[in-house]
Amino acid sequence: MFRTAAGMAAATRAAAYYACVVTASQLGDVKPEHGGELKHHAQDGKGFMNPWESWQMLSAPQIMKAMVSRRLLGKANNPDTTPPTIPVHAPAFLQNRETPKLRATWLGHACYYVEFPGGLRVLFDPVFEHRCSPIPFLGPARYTRPPCQIDDIPFIDVVVISHNHYDHLSYPTVKEIKAKHPNVHFFAPLGNKKWFVDAGIHNVTELDWWETREVKLERTKEGGDDEAVVVDPADASPNAMSATIGCLPCQHISARTLWDRALTLWASWSIESGGKKVWFGGDTGYRSVPELPDSEDDYDPKYDFPHCPAFKEIGELRGPFDLGLIPIGAYKPRFLFSSMHADPFDAVNIFKDTKCQRAMGIHWGTWVLTEEDVLEPPQQLKVALQRQGMPETGVFDVCDIGETREF
């Protein structure tokens, strides 16, 4: 189970020594000129939409019909998950709040644990279940195990959720995080707060695209075992940890059932704390690619498919970022998934648009969600970097599950 002695010791300590205070941010005014028009809100007031030419809306039945048809016609690829695939290691989390550098640990799929200089600890899109499905015995099953358990994570101050799909938002995981770290604060896109409240979790802030919040974390008792108490922002000490958390656009969709598609918002996120700034892409597409012959390269210069303009706006208005966590997997066949899932070539363009100085690939290596081979995303990422005249390593990388990189 990868349960480390340090992790077990951390679980016996108080879940948090810090109180989280969330207030409005001055960055809330930094948005595109069209940002106040709320074009991503559905006109009937029920739900949300992607307001760009780069988006193509396909219904769940359309996608399922196409996938079944490809299998019946022998066109579908069945990815081989026979080990070895991606190595899995026990993470080396810091057992204190001291780190001079930004540390990022991949926990599989889109889940990253980030340790900021100054002490803030953030967990992105945590899902620790075996299946990412509403039904425990059906749906995609892990082909790589979790590198740790929630008990092994010594501090969780903030959990950031990109959207409500089951491979990004898990009820059992969220409940366990709240039980182990009672002072944790959740951030989610607009419309998702009710889900948390219904789960008995009230430390949650929901935001719309381009909205930001300031977070202050106040130590309640040095080394103590008492529960943290939320303090008034005016009473926060000058030494309180602080962060700016921003909800930003991405090109995706939401749903947890067949009847609630696009009723809650999806988002990417920025977090700035301790002099470091991270952009979390969550789950996003970049372009909409029509059905092409398998031999065709959809980035051939003869094609000019519209791409999502939001990422360049993010880079211009909120960048640059020290680190980008950018999706690179779950993209084949392209005519079905390009609108909602970036492939490695899209990911490199997103990296450039958002002005990330470094990046790590996410949204691969855990569940088979689409048809590409399980090790294809990192292989194609190197090809994509070559095409852009960028180094194959050291700028936009991938790592083993459980591995920590410093920035």
Question: What tens digit of pLDDT does each residue of 252-303 get?
Answer: 999 999 899 999 999 999 999 999 999 999 999 999 999 999 889 999 999 9
Domain count, the chain: 1
CATH code assigned at 235:
3.60.15.10
Calculated CA dihedral for residues 108, 112, 113, 114, nearest 10 degrees:
150
The answer to whether residue 343 is domain-embedded is: yes
CA pair distance 217, 17, nearest whole angstrom: 9
The answer to whether residue 200 is domain-embedded is: yes
Whole-number pLDDT of residue 16:
41
17 is in an annotated binding site: no
Handedness of CA 276, 115, 92, 281 (dihedral sign): negative
| % of the chain beyond a pLDDT of 70 | 89
Q: Which domain holds residue 331?
A: 5-27+83-291+300-406
Evaluate if residue 79 carries a pLDDT over 90. yes
In this structure, what DSSP letter does residue 88 have?
Answer: B
143 is in an annotated binding site: no
Both tokens of 143, joined, read 């082909």
The chain-wide mean pLDDT, for the chain, equals 90
Whose CA is closest to 54, among 222, 332, 285, 217? 285
The answer to whether residue 53 is domain-embedded is: no
CA pair distance 192, 199, nearest whole angstrom: 11
State the pLDDT confidence band at 35, using cuts at 50, 70 and 90: confident
Other beta carbons less than 10 A from residue 246's beta carbon: 27
| Count of all residues that appear for the chain in the document | 407
The answer to whether residue 374 is domain-embedded is: yes
The answer to whether residue 271 is domain-embedded is: yes
